[in-house]
Structure 1
């Protein structure tokens, strides 16, 4: 099973790194809110069937619906919308690089709200390097620059939202000891219902006028990037462990950069490459620091509603 787990690892890194170009294609025809809605709708089916096949869905779980609703908001609806909005305003490669900062914001949220994370010298340097990378990408000192600050702000909002979701999950959801596939199904299902309530669907069919746009959105972003990505993540955790699964964080920014620069022709300045290296170095130091403090991690630690927080 480890061979299939490594295949799932590669699939996850590639598909999450491809998400940004799928959003860019779809954004030419529909709004970021509508992209979010369709992503969740088509991502729900694989997750639901996976949980159903494992017999993990229970009516008794309904008593925890308030927790599922919170996670549906911060770990799915708001997170996906913020990333769709940011990616629509930025080059896909830049958006992909900024997504690599998710572990940084997760650590900061855990430190601020849980008071369980220990600040070590290694972790402090990691956070500093990561945020320096984000700053170099945003370049707030450059008036009239190529980078849309609103897009950067939306990407940061998305990373902060999913960072908060990890904190909430650890404090309120993980103690419930419910099956991970079931939790994910409830999270995405409730998010889908909430999005249907607030997002206008008028004109949403325009995306189907372009084969590249709808295939990227429905199959790439929805079925693969959301639904099958969850299934793949759990398979990795079960066979390789949570620490190995968390290292997939390094792949999507690189994949997004390659797609944007090589295949789409986006121009990235040298400072952008430096920024990505700093972000990934910061994440690596955070993980290294965490291993030194807590070398043993339970197989399902951080799982439950977490895969969405690993990468977009």
Structure 2
């Protein structure tokens, strides 16, 4: 079963982050976006620090690698990504934002080549990226008028995609000595501090604009504990095992679970365009991972003989 561990974690993370969309919608109805993101990571950081202290693991950063990992991850993958994304979604639809975030797997390989020239990026991977991005476009079915009329929103969401890619590549290039849970706790804390500072600087994003309703608190609990603490632990575990290029493919699988979650929880229908998009995403993964898939099929065939 060990060989199925990584694919299983990948799908679990996609499900967690995909189902976070309804929770985010519920929270944004009562909380300003930047403050919402900040408090979400307050919750995540507290839970992770409690876990680290309960397990008697080393929790204090000591060397340059520890500080570099925490600073890059907290500033870019946590704070900048979520600040730009939530700000951008005030100007563009969720469909357009989903398409633009699909650029993460396109941006990541280019950044990885700059930071780590030895990182492999084959023609097969390029085809997989292109097919996956096409699938995201088909699923989101964006209105071109939104791209023309909402330049500010587009730029902000593109900045969110770039920030996340920088965080993934930068943390992958570091080799911290701290245990994974401790590095994630510090990253959440750094991200929360930066986001709180941003909430004070952005008009209408302070505590005075928040309404702490039961729906808002439930959204914070889910996003902080499950999508935040557990989700990012899973993500950075996968980042360490797969590298930034393959890990970035999570952006193509999340819309699948978001659509399924909307169908199961909210009664939203899965359209023909969504099915076509899922097919493109699947084709992209097959193209990118064909050698591994072929080897696994040969192994299964030999095992059944």
Q: Would the TM-score normalized by the shorter structure come out above 0.5?
A: yes
Secondary structure of the corresponding residue to residue 159 of structure 2: helix
CA contact (8 A) 1:47 1:184 kept: yes
- Which runs of no fewer than 5 residues in structure 2 stay unpaired? 201-205, 294-305
The structure whose Rg is larger is 2
> Counterpart in 2 of 1:142?
144
Output the CA distance in 2 between the equivalents of 1:60 and 1:220: 32
Deviations 1:23-68 (A, max 9, x none): 1111222222112111111111221122222412135347853552
Output the CA distance in 1 between the equivalents of 2:66 and 2:35: 28
CA contact (8 A) 1:133 1:276 kept: yes
> Counterpart in 2 of 1:302?
none
Q: Residues 143 and 183 of structure 1: is their aligned pair in 2 closer, same or farther, counting only changes over 3 Å?
A: same
- Which runs of no fewer than 5 residues in structure 1 stay unpaired? 293-312
Output the CA distance in 1 between the equivalents of 2:74 and 2:162: 15
Displacement of 1:148 after TM fit? Answer: 7.2
CA contact (8 A) 2:61 2:178 kept: no
> Counterpart in 2 of 1:215?
218
Does the alignment pair 1:75 with 2:71?
no
Output the CA distance in 2 between the equivalents of 1:232 and 1:94: 27
Output the CA distance in 1 between the equivalents of 2:273 and 2:5: 37
Secondary structure of the corresponding residue to residue 189 of structure 1: helix
Secondary structure of the corresponding residue to residue 119 of structure 1: coil
Displacement of 1:150 after TM fit? Answer: 6.2
From 205, 212, 215, give the equivalent of 2:210: 205
State the aligned residue count: 282
Output the CA distance in 2 between the equivalents of 1:28 and 1:70: 30
Q: Residues 8 and 81 of structure 1: is their aligned pair in 2 closer, same or farther, counting only changes over 3 Å?
A: same
Does the alignment pair 1:160 with 2:162?
yes
> Counterpart in 2 of 1:30?
31
Secondary structure of the corresponding residue to residue 47 of structure 1: helix
Displacement of 1:153 after TM fit? Answer: 5.4
Does the alignment pair 1:182 with 2:208?
no
CA contact (8 A) 1:27 1:88 kept: no
Displacement of 1:164 after TM fit? Answer: 1.4
Secondary structure of the corresponding residue to residue 126 of structure 1: helix
CA contact (8 A) 1:137 1:272 kept: yes
Deviations 1:252-292 (A, max 9, x none): 32221123345435577644443343245334533456x59
Deviations 1:155-186 (A, max 9, x none): 44333222111221233x22x44322222122
Task: Give the root-mean-square deviation of aligned CA atoms.
Answer: 4.2
